[in-house]
Amino acid sequence: MHFITGKSVPRRTFIRGAGATLALPLLDAMLPAGRVYGASKVEGATRLICIEEVHGLPGCNEWGVEQHLFAPSTVGRDYELLPDNVLKSLEPWRDRLTIVSNTDVRMAEPVDPGEIGGDHFRSSAVFLTQSHPKQTQGSDLYCGTSLDQLHAQRFGQETVLPSLQLSIESTNKGGGCDYNYSCSYMDSISWSSPTTPLPMIRNPRTAFDLLFGAGGSARERAVRRRTQRSILDWVAAEVGRMKRDLGVVDRRRVDQYLENIREIERRIDMVEVRNIGGEPRELPGAPPGVPDSFSEHMRLLSDIQVLAFQADITRVVALKTGRDASNRTFPESGSDRAFHPSSHHGDKEEGILEFNKICQYRVSQMAYFLGRLEETFDGDSSLLDQSMIIWGSPMGDANLHNHRRCPLLVMGGANGQLEGGAHMKAPDGTPMANVFTSLLHKLGHEDLDGFGDSDGVFSI
């Protein structure tokens, strides 16, 4: 591989070894002589990350609204996040946040008596589709095409992975769930068509191997792990040859990128060793590569996403941070109550604040992700400036299983399409799909007249 001054090398340059494929970050050598980074922006280059939070938020019931546990008391730019607000930990990125309150996800509501009570079993499928799922336990699934997949189908085809689907909790229950709903509706937030939910990856090792082709077969991967060899060992010779033709700045970029890869490998190895060591696990049924700690798991998946964006392996990610009706506990939150039972707080102030404690902890995990995106540059701007991050829930007040006043947060700069720094309250009865329609327009889908059950746009 040779880099010649004055000529550009394709952004899609890969280093290949025995069963490993290493994509590279953006380098000076990939730009024609005299070309600046800013001029390399292409249509569809905005990274899109969609994150679902199940069970809504305590700030979406009547008392929580009065206490401003999610929506601030004022709209516009001069809002205040009180100490108990679940977004308080994200305040350092205030200028990259847009809080959207008072939108509804009515497609998650029951439409006939037989669907009453099944909210937990259809909500996740509704979040990014804003479409009502067909009640079935068979293979005749039907919902809608999700927002992330609309973007991937139009702008993700030139990347190695059109999209990446990640999850924190198990999504492989299969078969039928309660209230006559297929578990497929609970298992995925990404739908490539109204009949096709996409599988989500829980194990960081699986996600890492997918991004870097670490071992062309299960046998090759097993050999690499037994010998404790990094994927970088399989491509070391080719990396060395490549670096001889790079400038000083590019060599530093490559070295830092490779160090980040090796560090993630090391952390995954440590998790696996710890989890097969014989000590009792907090998540006894989880694969060895899945951390018992929610924070550790979220950070690993955050770093994997950053690597994927940095090397332009994918530009679209969907992340499901939990499973509806989960009884998981979060010791690091300071609460010993299980997640789902705590969401049914009976409208008692003490119970609402206990649930809020768990939610504050869960939301705070995004601070690490925002920080990593902010410090990682692709060309002349950070990944945070180039990304649109949609975080929200299809449920509002989990105590009532309602889908009104659902929480929504939009983060990042989206390559200049998002201003941030404001709280926007939608008029009563506004579908969340109106906001999604506006966001799709900002992502380059101006030809879309609507999305899901939208009846207009709510521009942010």
Within 10 angstroms of residue 444's Cβ, the number of other Cβ atoms is 17
C-alpha dist (Å) from residue 290 to 277, 305, 316, 317, 332:
14, 16, 22, 19, 17
Nearest to 326 by CA among 204, 171, 135, 207: 171
Tell me what pLDDT residue 217 has: 64
- Distance between CA atoms of residues 161 and 158, nearest Å: 8
| Exposure b/e, 329-365, CB count within 10 A at least 16 = b | bbeebebebebbebbebeeeeebbbbbbbbbbbbbbb
Q: Compute CA 271 distance to the chain's CA centroid, rounded to the nearest angstrom.
A: 21
Per-10-residue mean pLDDT of the chain, 460 residues long, equals 46 76 90 53 80 98 97 98 98 98 98 96 98 97 98 94 97 81 96 98 95 70 66 88 90 95 96 95 94 98 97 97 96 97 97 98 98 96 97 98 98 97 98 98 97 96
The radius of gyration computed from the CA coordinates of the chain, to the nearest angstrom, equals 22
Q: Which domains does the chain have, with CATH numbers?
A: 47-131+145-171+315-442 (3.40.720)
Question: Residue 227 has what pLDDT?
Answer: 63
Supply angle C-alpha 53, 338, 171, rounded to 5. 50
The DSSP bridge partners found for residue 134 are: none
